[in-house]
C-alpha cells in the first residue's frame, strides 16, 4: 500500500508542479498586485483599498459584468439543450452515428480565433451571408448579443461527450420497465432519462457559467470589440484594455480579482439552487 501511494504521488507530481507554476503562483502574484499601483516599468507601490473603490466606481466594468450575465443567461441554457439533445439523438448505434458525433464535436476543436473569424464573416452586415436581412447583426445591441450567444453555444463538444456518457450509464432495465408499463416516449425521456441525468446536467450548467463569464475574450475582441455601444463588452475585454492598452497592471489585477469573486458567488448561488432542486426531483 505504501509503495502504491508513493507511485501515485510520483505520477501526480508533474501535474501538481505545473498547476502550482501556472495557476497558484500567478494567482498569488495577481492578488498582491491588486492592491498596488504597477505599470510594469518600476516597482509596485502599495495603494491599500484604492483599487477596490475604483473598481466599484468603474461604470464601464459594471456594464461589462451586466453584459456577461446576459450572455450567460443566453448561452448556458442553449448549450445545455444542444448538448443534451445531441446526446439523446446519437446515443444509439446506427449507420453514420460516428460521423454525426464527430460533426457535433468538431466545432470545439477549431481554434478560437478561426471560429471567431468565421462568425465575423457570417454575421457581417455588409458582405456576410445574412447581409440585407435587416436583422441588426453587429449593428444593434440585442441581435448582436444573440449572434454572439449562438457562436459560443455551438461549441458543445465537451458537454456533448459528458452528456452522452451520462446517458449511456443509465441501466437499460429502467427502459424495459417503462416499456412494460406502457409509458410513452416523452414520459420516458422526461421522467426517466432527464431525471437520472439531472446531476450531470447541473454540473455542466455550472461549468458553462464559468466559461461564459471568464472565456469570452477572443470572440468579443475579434468579432465585436465590445460593440455596438458596449452591448457586448465583457469583463475579460475590460481587463485586457486596462492591462495592455493602458498599462494599469495593478488595477487590471484588481478587476481580475473582482471577476473571480463575482464568478465564485454566481456559481455558488447556482450550485445551492441546483442542489435544492435536485433534492426535490431526483
CB 69 within 8 A of CB 214: no
Read off the pLDDT of residues 133-153 as tens digits, 9 standing for 90 and up.
656 788 888 888 998 999 999
Rounded distance, CA 258 to CA 235, Å? 10
10 vs 116: CA distance, rounded Å: 40
For residue range 194-226, list pLDDT tens digits in order. 888 988 898 898 888 888 887 788 888 999 988
On the question of pLDDT at 5 being above 80, the answer is no
pLDDT of residue 66: 92
List pLDDT tens digits, range 240-272. Answer: 999 999 999 999 999 999 998 888 888 888 777
Name the CATH architecture for the domain at 63-238+257-281. Orthogonal Bundle (1.10)
- Domains of the chain: which residue ranges? 63-238+257-281
Task: Note the pLDDT tens digit of each residue in 142-196.
Answer: 888 998 999 999 999 899 999 999 999 988 888 888 888 888 888 888 888 988 8
* pLDDT tens digits, one per residue of 31-54: 999 999 998 888 889 998 999 999
Residues 93, 94, 97: CA angle, nearest 5 degrees: 80
In whole angstroms, give the CA distance from residue 140 to residue 167: 40
Amino acid at each position: 500500500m505504501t509503495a502504491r501511494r508513493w507511485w501515485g504521488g510520483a505520477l501526480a507530481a508533474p501535474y501538481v508542479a505545473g498547476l502550482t507554476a501556472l495557476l497558484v503562483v500567478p494567482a498569488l502574484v495577481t492578488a498582491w498586485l491588486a492592491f498596488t499601483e504597477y505599470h510594469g516599468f518600476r516597482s509596485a507601490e502599495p495603494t491599500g483599498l484604492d483599487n477596490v473603490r475604483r473598481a466599484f466606481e468603474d461604470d464601464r466594468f459594471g456594464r461589462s459584468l451586466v453584459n456577461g450575465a446576459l450572455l450567460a443567461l443566453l448561452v448556458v441554457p442553449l448549450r445545455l439543450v444542444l448538448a443534451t439533445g445531441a446526446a439523446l439523438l446519437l446515443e444509439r448505434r446506427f449507420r453514420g452515428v460516428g460521423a454525426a458525433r464527430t460533426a457535433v464535436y468538431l466545432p470545439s476543436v477549431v481554434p478560437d480565433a478561426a471560429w471567431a473569424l468565421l462568425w465575423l464573416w457570417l454575421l457581417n452586415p455588409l458582405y456576410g451571408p445574412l447581409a440585407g436581412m435587416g436583422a441588426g447583426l453587429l449593428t444593434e445591441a440585442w441581435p448582436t448579443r444573440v449572434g454572439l450567444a449562438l457562436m459560443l453555444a455551438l461549441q458543445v463538444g465537451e458537454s456533448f461527450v459528458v452528456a452522452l456518457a451520462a446517458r449511456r450509464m443509465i441501466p437499460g432495465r429502467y427502459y424495459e420497465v417503462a416499456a412494460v408499463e406502457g409509458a410513452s416516449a416523452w414520459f420516458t425521456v422526461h421522467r426517466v432519462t432527464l431525471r437520472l441525468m439531472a446531476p450531470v446536467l447541473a454540473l455542466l450548467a455550472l461549468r458553462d457559467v464559468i466559461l461564459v463569464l471568464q472565456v469570452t475574450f477572443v470572440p468579443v475582441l475579434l468579432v465585436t470589440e465590445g460593440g455596438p455601444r458596449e452591448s457586448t463588452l465583457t469583463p475579460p475585454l475590460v481587463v485586457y484594455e486596462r492591462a495592455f492598452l493602458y498599462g494599469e497592471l495593478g488595477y487590471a489585477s484588481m478587476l481580475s480579482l473582482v471577476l473571480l469573486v463575482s464568478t465564485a458567488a454566481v456559481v455558488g448561488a447556482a450550485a445551492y439552487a441546483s442542489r435544492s432542486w435536485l433534492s426535490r426531483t431526483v
